[in-house]
């Protein structure tokens, strides 16, 4: 603070308004004490309405990356404020255990300096012509077009893409080296291969007979399944014993079943939220969730930026062998946010143990949903500012009001959204009741603040068709914030792609085993019968060029449960599988869609004869 601002009662000192009393001194600490002393003395004067320090505000450290304005998920988690505390340390290594990464990506390759290894033992699954080797570059599609999806490239970019370099996107950690360990191939990854990669990351003996030059301090695993492997459990425990913080995605099946490795003891299990801070529809839940982080929802554009609300990160396009940036959704996207935060915590305090990091993440999370810990959000939304302060980082002494989103578009049908309200500074944040104003239509907009959540509602009843705008203002002792709101009244234009084909695909060959079709008149309901017992990928899309394949470039496309992470549906001979719902969407812009790496000609509508 610098000086004192005071507001006098009318006529008390001859005029009302602000007066600035300059406090100068050679010692900053003494000047601050003098300032606070003046504040106390003035507030005790009956002629003074209030007096407060004249705070100095500084701009947050916002990276200049070209697409950073589209990375809403960082602002939602207060990472710009956290970057004022630390942007990482070269002495902290983060291992990304995934499908490998594209080292040629200009916004990622320079950050992949923490070592690499490919642990996929099966050459057919590896897609690179051999088994275990020292090259963790993700080869993408093989000639048979079985894909390893560049999933790890996207995850690694969230942990630590090259940041503040005037191009591409930013990562959570700007400095720490990333270790690239490849375990996921065309058919996923085996528990043995994954366990060996965990041991390697921790600098322990493993099947490769190699150890890294420097062991990882944080391990991210955006992968998993419902089968508990003792081999993998032992490897995770051993890594934790070496001081590695292990973070894992909770899974995308919208279930409370325990998924592994996220449910192993001591692992930081991460669920996903959407743009408004609600549980993402696909995110797993249950008592094993530690914290949640932004995972996105590509099917919505609630902030009105023209793109689906997915997590934007680095990717690679197999078709023309070019780098790009895409919006993905999933707990796989939420987990690297938390792994990145853990690496920032260790950057300010390398002495923290895995147990301490996990507990601090839980203790400092922003409580969401019902008060206290719950099975939906765990301890709450991971808070990098509070976690860094708890770890020993230096934050501003004064409170600072932060909203998880600054724009909300209710469209034609939505009636309520929630916004996370939290303190991005120090001290105790005190927020006043929200003030609402609308530009037309009267009182159609309301907002109620309860604990850490701002409940924003709209009422279209009695309003003429058209677009309506308004805003919600929050004032606090940590500054003010404005939420811009937009709403449409009338009949929503319903995209009608025409005939939509739904396919049951062999998860290994991607050949169609059974297909059907549906349309808007049928409510896009579908049935795939009869299907023999087994596992199938479920895909849907249009065939606008009538070539017998869906999901060509420019066609509607989607896979269950989320397109960038399709998972098999298990069909049993004595049961009916239902609730297999997912989003089908058309590509937005080249290089900015949420479509997975799909075979060049798409998916065949009918079975191969």
User: Which of 103-107, 363-367, 446-450, 545-549 shows the lowest mean pLDDT across its residues?
Assistant: 545-549
**What pLDDT sits at residue 26?**
57
Q: CA distances (Å), 237 to each of 10, 230, 355, in order?
A: 67, 10, 12
User: Which of 115-124, 232-241, 482-491, 493-502 shows the lowest mean pLDDT across its residues?
Assistant: 493-502
Give 359-374 pLDDT, tens digit per residue.
Answer: 999 999 999 988 999 9
- Report yes or no: 360 and 348 within 8 Å, Cβ to Cβ: no
**What pLDDT sits at residue 567?**
84
Give 392-444 pLDDT, tens digit per residue.
Answer: 998 778 899 999 999 999 999 999 999 999 999 988 999 999 999 999 999 99
Strand partners, 485: 408, 470
Give 249-260 pLDDT, tens digit per residue.
Answer: 999 999 999 999
- Report yes or no: 207 and 196 within 8 Å, Cβ to Cβ: yes
**What pLDDT sits at residue 587?**
54
- Residue 5's pLDDT band (boundaries 50, 70, 90)? low
Give the C-alpha separation, 556 to 362, whole Å. 40
Give 490-548 pLDDT, tens digit per residue.
Answer: 998 767 788 999 999 998 788 999 999 999 889 899 999 989 999 999 999 999 899 99
**What pLDDT sits at residue 408?**
97
Around Cβ 100, how many Cβ atoms within 10 Å? 34
Instruction: Report the DSSP pairing between strands 569-571 and 534-541.
Output: antiparallel
User: Which of 201-205, 332-336, 588-592 shows the lowest mean pLDDT across its residues?
Assistant: 588-592
Higher pLDDT, 202 or 146: 202
**What pLDDT sits at residue 147?**
55
**What pLDDT sits at residue 424?**
93
> What positions carry a catalytic annotation?
98, 151, 332
Give the C-alpha separation, 189 to 191, whole Å. 7
Tokens at 289, concatenated: 């969730």
**What pLDDT sits at residue 36?**
79
Give 303-341 pLDDT, tens digit per residue.
Answer: 999 888 999 999 998 777 889 999 999 999 999 999 999
3-class secondary structure, 567 = coil
**What pLDDT sits at residue 35?**
80
- Report the chain's mean pLDDT, rounded to a whole number: 89
Give 50-88 pLDDT, tens digit per residue.
Answer: 787 776 554 556 899 999 999 999 999 999 999 999 999
Mean pLDDT across the stretch 280-284?
A: 95
- Residue 143's pLDDT band (boundaries 50, 70, 90)? very low
- Report yes or no: 298 and 154 within 8 Å, Cβ to Cβ: no
Percent of the chain topping pLDDT 70: 90
3-class secondary structure, 239 = helix
Nearest partner of 87 among 268, 341, 335, 291, judged by Cα: 341
């Amino acid at each position: 603070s610098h000086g004192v601002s005071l507001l006098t009662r009318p006529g008390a000192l001859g005029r009302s308004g602000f007066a600035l009393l300059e406090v100068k001194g050679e010692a900053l600490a003494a000047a601050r004490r003098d300032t606070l002393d003046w504040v106390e003395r003035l507030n005790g004067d009956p002629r003074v309405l209030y007096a407060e320090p004249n705070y100095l505000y500084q701009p947050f450290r916002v990276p200049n990356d070209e697409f950073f304005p589209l990375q809403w998920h960082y602002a939602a988690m207060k990472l710009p404020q956290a970057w004022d505390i630390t942007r990482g340390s070269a002495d902290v290594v983060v291992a990304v255990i995934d499908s490998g990464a594209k080292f040629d990506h200009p916004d990622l390759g320079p950050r992949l300096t923490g070592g690499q290894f490919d642990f996929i033992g099966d050459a057919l699954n590896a897609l690179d012509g051999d088994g275990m080797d020292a090259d963790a570059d993700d080869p993408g599609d093989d000639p048979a077009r079985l894909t390893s999806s560049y999933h790890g490239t996207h995850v690694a970019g969230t942990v630590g893409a090259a940041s503040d370099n005037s191009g591409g996107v930013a990562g959570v950690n700007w400095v720490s080296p990333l270790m690239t360990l490849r375990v996921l191939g065309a058919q996923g990854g085996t528990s043995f291969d994954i366990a060996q990669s965990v041991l390697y990351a921790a600098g322990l003996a493993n099947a490769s007979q190699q150890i890294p030059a420097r062991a990882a301090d944080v391990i991210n695993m955006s992968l998993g399944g419902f089968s508990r492997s003792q081999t993998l459990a032992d490897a995770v425990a051993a890594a934790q014993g070496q001081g590695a913080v292990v973070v894992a995605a909770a899974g995308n099946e919208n279930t409370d079943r325990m998924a592994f490795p996220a449910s192993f003891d001591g692992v930081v299990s991460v669920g996903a939220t959407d743009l408004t801070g609600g549980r993402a529809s696909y995110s797993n839940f249950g008592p094993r969730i530690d914290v949640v982080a932004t995972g996105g929802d590509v099917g919505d554009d609630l902030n009105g930026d023209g793109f689906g609300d997915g997590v934007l990160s680095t990717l690679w396009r197999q078709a023309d062998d070019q780098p790009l940036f895409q919006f993905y959704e999933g707990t796989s996207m939420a987990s690297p946010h938390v792994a990145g935060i853990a690496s920032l915590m260790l950057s300010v305090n390398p002495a923290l143990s895995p147990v301490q990091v996990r507990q601090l993440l839980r203790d400092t999370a922003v409580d969401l949903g019902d008060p206290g810990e719950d099975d939906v959000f765990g301890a709450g939304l991971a808070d990098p500012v509070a976690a860094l302060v708890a770890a020993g980082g230096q934050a501003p002494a004064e409170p600072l009001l932060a909203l998880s989103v600054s724009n909300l578009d209710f469209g034609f049908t939505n009636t309520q959204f929630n916004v996370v309200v939290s303190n991005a500074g120090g001290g105790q944040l005190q927020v006043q009741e929200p003030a609402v104003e609308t530009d037309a239509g009267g009182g159609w907009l309301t907002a109620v603040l309860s604990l850490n959540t701002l409940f924003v509602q709209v009422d279209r009843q009695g309003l003429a068709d058209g677009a309506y705008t308004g805003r919600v203002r929050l004032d606090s002792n940590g500054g003010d914030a404005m939420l811009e709101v937009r709403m449409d009244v009338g009949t929503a234009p319903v995209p009608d792609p025409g005939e939509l084909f739904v396919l049951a695909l062999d998860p290994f060959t991607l050949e169609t085993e059974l297909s059907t079709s549906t349309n808007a008149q049928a409510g896009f309901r579908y049935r795939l019968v009869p299907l023999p017992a087994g596992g199938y990928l479920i895909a849907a899309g249009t065939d606008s060029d009538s070539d017998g394949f869906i999901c060509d470039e420019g066609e509607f496309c989607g896979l269950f449960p989320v397109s960038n992470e399709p998972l098999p549906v298990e069909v049993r001979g004595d049961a009916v599988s239902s609730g297999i719902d997912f989003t089908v969407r058309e590509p937005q812009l080249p290089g900015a869609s949420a479509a997975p790496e799909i075979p060049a000609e798409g998916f065949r509508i009918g079975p191969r004869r």
